[in-house]
Structure 1
Amino acid sequence: MTSADGRRQDRPAQATPAPGAPASPTATRETAPEGLDRAERGIGRRDPLEARGLVRLLVKPAAFLGANWAALLGVLTVVGIVPALAGATRVTSDLEQYEDSAFTTTLRHARRTLVRDAPASLLLLLVAGGIAGNALVLPRLDASLRVFAVGVLLPLLWALIAMLSAYVVAASRDEHGERAAILLEALRLVRARPVAALAAPPLIALLSPLWLLAPLTIAIGLSVPPWVVGRLWSSAPHIGAYRARSTE
């Protein structure tokens, strides 16, 4: 280096470490954040509460069990059937977020939406009672009258079951919305996904052994069916996206 008067000034040489030699403490202190050692910067450490190995494989099944038991508690209140199913749908549709709080999240959702969704629970009970009554009455009718009754009642029951399943999915996506907003969202789901609306009733009937047989009901009867039905409607736009479009 040359100064302004033309004289050469030598800079102190910096020692370069030999290959394989450990870095000097001075260089480490210069590159590391002030006052933080390796442990404080989180290098080489793992969360001690993070599930690993076999425990990690059991997290999602445990989430299904937790959501199922919470949904059972909601169903026992009768008016909490739809809120409980909506809570289980909410949890099982996003296990990455709720796998550690499946039980409490399902109960919390059912508690917050109990008043809003109680009429839907009563409608669900009426539909189930109508199906049971028809199963008892129809075999006693004449053949021609039986065909007429089935032709009239089947489309009505099909539409009601499809609408109720769409309502449960819409309610699971928004626990703070008004009842009218959830109903409109369910109608929009049915209109936007006619194939899902047609497939929902037979799919629910196919899954009926899970919630009719007591051992399966206690284990997964109220968590796996909501998960399957929720995935049937899952490709429909979220209610939040619909609201955003409507406000533009």
Structure 2
Amino acid sequence: MTSRTPVAADAVSRAERGVGRGDPLKARGMVRLLAKPAAFLAANWAAMVAMLTVIGIVPALAGATRTTGDLAQYEDEAFTSTLRHVRRTLLRDAPVSVMLLLVLGGIGANALVLPRMEAPTRVFLVGVMLPVVWAMVALLSAYVLAAARDQHAERTTIMLRALALVVQRPLSALAAPALIVVLSPLWLLAPLTIAVGFSVPPWILGRLWGELTADDPATT
């Protein structure tokens, strides 16, 4: 019988005690902990890439909504899944992107013109336009959610589903524009924009509107 050398004996002893050996479960747990923030970052970058086309704004937001709304499925491919959604829906949702730009342009123009008007006129115009703008923003927000849930339906079908969401969930429709304003620092401040400016807001708005399921009338 051969005796163990001091070095070999010490190695066996250390191995038996688990000294110097990392816990693989702990390592995987740390990786899983970082996976979701990484998915939000990846979806955000994919959305920003798509937005460079201008007409891809709505498809990008819908893709980010789809990805962040189901991280269990898209967590490991957040960047590519968001871009795939944009590629499949760009032509369908491009006109809605133009509509969104027109709404934003109208809001910006009013913000520049209204302060120069007399107070009574300003109050009257704000009272007339605010409900219209509010309804348009709510409808566009609902459209993004409906578009996120279906990559293949026609634009008319998605718009009808968005209208159904606004009608069936009036509290969400009322809160959506206000929530977009509250979340504006995320997409207006450059560091936050680069990190999560176009992934976290769609995720939050998706939670506001609620999940669409096969039994939801808005999906039929």
1:157 and 2:133 matched: yes
SS of residue paired to 2:151:
coil
Q: What runs of 5+ residues in structure 1 fail to find an aligned partner?
A: 1-47
Matched, 1:200 2:176: yes
Residue matched to 1:189? 165
Structure 2 distance, partners of 1:230, 1:244, is 14
1:69 to 2:45 alignment: yes
Judging changes above 3 Å, is the alpha-carbon distance between structure 1 residues 245 and 105 closer, same or farther for their aligned structure 2 residues?
closer
Map of 1:1-248 to 2, 5 A cutoff? 52-235=28-211, 237-238=212-213, 240-242=214-216
Would you say the 8 A contact 2:134–2:177 is kept in 1? yes
Q: Percent identity?
A: 68
Q: 1:244 to 1:61 in 2, by over 3 A?
A: closer
Cα deviation, residue 221, structure 1:
0.1
Q: CA RMSD in A?
A: 1.6
TM-score by length of 1: 0.76
How many Å apart are 1:245 and its aligned residue? 8.9
Can you list the C-alpha shifts for 1:159-203, whole angstroms capped at 9, x where unaligned? 000000000000000001111110110011011100000000000
Secondary structure of the residue aligned to 2:76 is: coil
Q: For 2:135 and 2:29, how far apart are their aligned partners in 1? A: 46
The total of aligned residue pairs comes to 195
- Could you list the runs of 4 or more consecutive aligned residues of structure 1 that deviate by over 2 angstroms after TM superposition? 240-246
Q: TM-score, with normalisation over the residues of structure 2?
A: 0.85
Higher helix share: 2
CA shift, 1:103, in A, is: 0.3
**CA–CA separation in structure 2 for the residues paired with 1:194 and 1:90:** 22
- Could you say which residue in structure 2 is the equivalent of 1:17? none
| Structure 2 residue runs without a partner (length 5+) | 1-23
Q: Do 2:40 and 2:199's aligned partners in 1 also have CA atoms closer than 8 Å?
A: yes
Rounded Cα–Cα distance in structure 1 between residues aligned with 2:216 and 2:43 = 28
Residues 156 and 216 of structure 1, relative CA distance in 2, 3 Å threshold = same
The Cα shift of 1:241 comes to 2.7
Secondary structure of 2:66 counterpart: helix
**CA distance in structure 1 between the aligned counterparts of 2:65 and 2:182, rounded to whole angstroms:** 18
2: CA distance, partners of 1:92 / 1:138: 38
Give the number of the structure whose alpha-carbon radius of gyration is greater.
1
For residue 243 of structure 1, report the CA deviation from its aligned partner: 6.6
Letter of the 1:128 partner, please give it. L
